[in-house]
């Protein structure tokens, strides 16, 4: 299988004739299993890359088999993918060089955060479209003003709005975004991570399944923890479980409603052994900011622990309580640790790809 850097170079070569020297960015690159259901897990061989052409104002989807890079298919559209961390950081750099905000940012008088909506699709006079990344600016002390601006990465310019924020955003005491953070960035969409999980009782295998981390989950917006090829006591009970759609309605509709993304991961407190990218086998349940009273955690995942207890698959959500569904439930949080618990059951995990 191609390594991510090699796959990125393959995508760039496939787009060379379409993009020329135009500024662009690969927002995400992931690998999906072959189309069609199979009883046994199949190796992921289908590449899907999402690329933004800033000058052309378009999104390019590159799909194809890794084993046949010359036959990659490219589809153009005007849809707006989710903003990557690299895009947001680039927008903040543009702000840092601007006359309006540069000095205040360097002096710590303004704090940046990721607001809602995260981007603005703007239609230009010539009929083209421009992708603008929104950045929230909170005053660092008293007397300042809260503002949400947009940054055109194509023109490297800052756009300000009457009322201090674009339409359907909010620049007031109540925020459309999460300004406070522990400076612990999330994984980018397309970050690899799939693991094979087995739960045994003695020598009997009770459960066997594939679990994919949210950052690598399928779907345009991701789909949370994705389970595939779930087998209970040797019998196939589920081919796929994920949450491809999550619609969020914000209070008083001030920040939405939006269809929120499910690929993003955060940090949790989890001590154990790494068994695959994005997965950790733990001797005790993981903890989140809701249970540790600390915003700084030690491992990049986000609020879901999977444990084996009583022969069922159990998940513990971060700030949303806990559930213990018999026997399998759609995984609707963002990523996973694997916790081995119980005197009569054991859980093992190994890289699947």
pLDDT tens sequence across 1-53: 445 677 888 888 888 888 887 888 998 888 776 666 666 666 667 888 899 99
DSSP 50-87: EEEETTTTEEEEEEEETT-GGG-EEEEE---PPPPHHH
DSSP character at residue 187: P
Instruction: Give the model confidence (pLDDT) of 129-164 as tens digits.
Output: 899 999 999 887 666 788 999 999 999 999 999 988
End-to-end CA, the chain:
9
User: What span, in angstroms and rounded, lies between the C-alpha atoms of 28 and 21?
Assistant: 20
Instruction: Give the model confidence (pLDDT) of 167-188 as tens digits.
Output: 877 776 555 555 555 556 677 7
Rg of the chain on CA atoms, in Å: 22
Instruction: Give the model confidence (pLDDT) of 71-121 as tens digits.
Output: 889 999 988 888 888 899 999 999 999 999 999 999 989 989 888 888 987
Instruction: Say if residues 24 and 15 touch (Cβ distance below 8 Å).
Output: yes
Instruction: Say if residues 352 and 276 touch (Cβ distance below 8 Å).
Output: yes
State the chain's mean pLDDT as an integer: 75
User: What span, in angstroms and rounded, lies between the C-alpha atoms of 166 and 145?
Assistant: 15
Instruction: Return the structure tokens found at 271.
Output: 């001590």
User: What span, in angstroms and rounded, lies between the C-alpha atoms of 301 and 187?
Assistant: 9
The SS3 call for residue 162 is helix
Instruction: Return the structure tokens found at 239.
Output: 């081919």
Provide the percentage of residues in the chain whose pLDDT is more than 70: 68
């Amino acid at each position: 299988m191609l390594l991510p850097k090699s796959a990125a170079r393959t995508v760039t070569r496939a787009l060379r004739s379409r993009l020329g020297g135009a500024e662009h960015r690969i927002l995400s690159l992931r690998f999906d299993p072959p189309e069609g259901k199979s009883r046994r897990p199949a190796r992921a061989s289908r590449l899907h890359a999402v690329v933004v052409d800033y000058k052309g104002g378009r999104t390019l989807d590159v799909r194809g088999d890794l084993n046949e890079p010359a036959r990659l298919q490219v589809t153009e559209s005007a849809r707006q993918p989710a903003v990557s961390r690299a895009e947001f950081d680039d927008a903040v750099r543009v702000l840092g060089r601007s006359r309006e905000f540069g000095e205040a940012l360097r002096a710590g008088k303004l704090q940046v955060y990721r607001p809602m909506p995260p981007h603005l699709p703007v239609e230009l006079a010539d009929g083209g479209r421009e992708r603008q990344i929104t950045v929230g600016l909170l005053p660092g002390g008293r007397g300042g003003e809260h503002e949400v601006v947009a940054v055109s990465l194509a023109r490297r310019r800052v756009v300000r709005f009457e009322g201090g924020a674009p339409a359907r955003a909010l620049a007031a005491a109540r925020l459309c975004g999460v300004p406070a953070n522990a400076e612990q960035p999330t994984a980018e969409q397309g970050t690899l991570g799939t693991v094979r999980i087995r739960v045994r009782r003695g020598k009997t295998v009770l459960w066997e399944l594939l679990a994919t981390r949210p950052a690598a989950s399928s779907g345009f917006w991701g789909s949370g923890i994705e389970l595939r090829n779930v087998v209970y006591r040797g019998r196939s009970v589920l081919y796929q479980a994920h949450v491809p759609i999550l619609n969020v309605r914000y209070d008083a509709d001030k920040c939405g409603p939006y269809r929120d993304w499910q690929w993003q991961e955060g940090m949790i407190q989890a001590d154990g052994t790494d068994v695959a990218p994005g997965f950790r086998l733990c001797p005790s349940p993981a903890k989140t900011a809701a249970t540790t009273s600390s915003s700084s955690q030690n491992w990049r995942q986000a609020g879901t622990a999977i444990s084996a207890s009583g022969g069922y698959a159990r998940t513990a959500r971060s700030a949303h309580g806990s559930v213990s569904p018999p026997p399998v439930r759609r995984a609707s949080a963002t990523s996973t640790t694997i916790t081995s618990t119980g005197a009569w059951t054991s859980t093992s995990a190994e890289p699947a790809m």
